[in-house]
């Protein structure tokens, strides 16, 4: 028996056999990748259905903390709002929001008293002036441009929160008479992570 027969045929025959095997190997690899993708999609669906959700930031009321168009992951199940959290409120919160879910910062929770001093540019909760390094700029007196922004002092009812945007001069929030304090049942969840764009991806600092 020749060396060629010992190897199972001529080099040309061996090459032909490899060509016949390649499609089968590619199909098998593709099948495994599809299986992995399906499992990952199912896992993500379960996670976001029962434990959280994904939302898109619309508008500039949370500049510079969050930018228009950014993709956020929320913590939803079992979440109770706390002071300082960034929360998403659903589209039914107030007619003044024009049917859109909005992203705001929780300034105070039930039982706390909020006082806003536009002259000093401060927000006080239960007598304590808040340290707010996240705001875009100092607050201007809204009465100069918006007569509907009338709430400057309020005690938040139990089961409700007081919210404001970080871009104080471009935000429809609890300072507006049409919005006011927000029932916690309107809170979709806490924003915990920027998912997209990639250069901004990561856990939120506050």
Rg of the chain's alpha carbons, rounded to an integer? 28
Residue with tokens 């619309």: 58
The token pair that represents 166 in the structure block: 């970080």
- Name the catalytic one among 94, 104, 171, 190: 104
Helix%, strand%, coil% for the chain, nearest 5: 30, 25, 45
Q: Which residues of the chain have pLDDT under 70?
A: 1-9, 11-26, 40, 42-52, 143, 145-149, 206
Catalytic residue, chosen from 61, 94, 171, 174, is: 61
- Model pLDDT for residues 70-101, shown as the tens digit of each residue: 999 898 888 999 999 999 999 888 887 777 88
Tell me, what's the pLDDT at 21?
56
Q: What is the pTM of this model?
A: 0.74
Identify the pLDDT of residue 2: 43
How wide is the angle at C-alpha 62 spanned by C-alphas 173 and 44, nearest 5°? 105
Q: Transcribe 28-80 into DSSP letters.
A: HHHHHHHHHHHHHHHHHHHHHHHTEEEEE--SSTTTTTS-TT-EEEEE-TT--
Going by the DSSP 8-state scheme, the letter that residue 96 receives in this structure is G
> Which residue is it, tokens 């808040």?
130
Predicted pLDDT of residue 43: 60
Q: Please, is 105 exposed, middle or buried when counting C-beta atoms within 10 Å of its C-beta (0-12, 13-18, 19+)?
A: buried
Q: Could you confirm whether 61 is annotated as catalytic?
A: yes
| Annotation says 24 is catalytic | no
At residue 20, the pLDDT reads: 60
């Amino acid at each position: 028996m020749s060396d060629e027969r010992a190897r199972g045929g001529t080099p040309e025959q061996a090459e032909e056999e490899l060509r016949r095997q390649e499609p089968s190997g590619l199909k098998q690899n593709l099948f495994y990748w599809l299986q992995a993708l399906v499992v990952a999609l199912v896992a993500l669906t379960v996670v976001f259905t029962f434990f959280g959700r994904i939302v898109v930031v619309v508008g500039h009321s949370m500049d510079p903390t969050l930018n228009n168009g950014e993709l956020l992951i929320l913590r939803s199940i079992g979440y109770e709002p706390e002071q300082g959290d960034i929360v998403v409120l659903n589209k039914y919160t107030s007619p003044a929001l024009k049917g859109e879910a909005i992203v705001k910062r929780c300034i105070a929770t039930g039982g706390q008293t909020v006082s806003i001093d536009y002259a000093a540019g401060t927000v006080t909760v239960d007598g304590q002036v808040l340290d707010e390094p996240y705001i875009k700029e100092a607050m201007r007196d809204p009465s100069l441009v918006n007569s509907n922004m009338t709430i400057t002092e309020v005690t938040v009812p139990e089961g409700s929160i007081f919210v404001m945007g970080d871009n104080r001069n471009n935000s429809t929030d609890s300072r507006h008479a049409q919005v006011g304090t927000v029932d916690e049942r309107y809170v979709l969840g806490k924003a915990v992570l920027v998912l997209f764009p990639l250069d901004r991806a990561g856990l939120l600092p506050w």
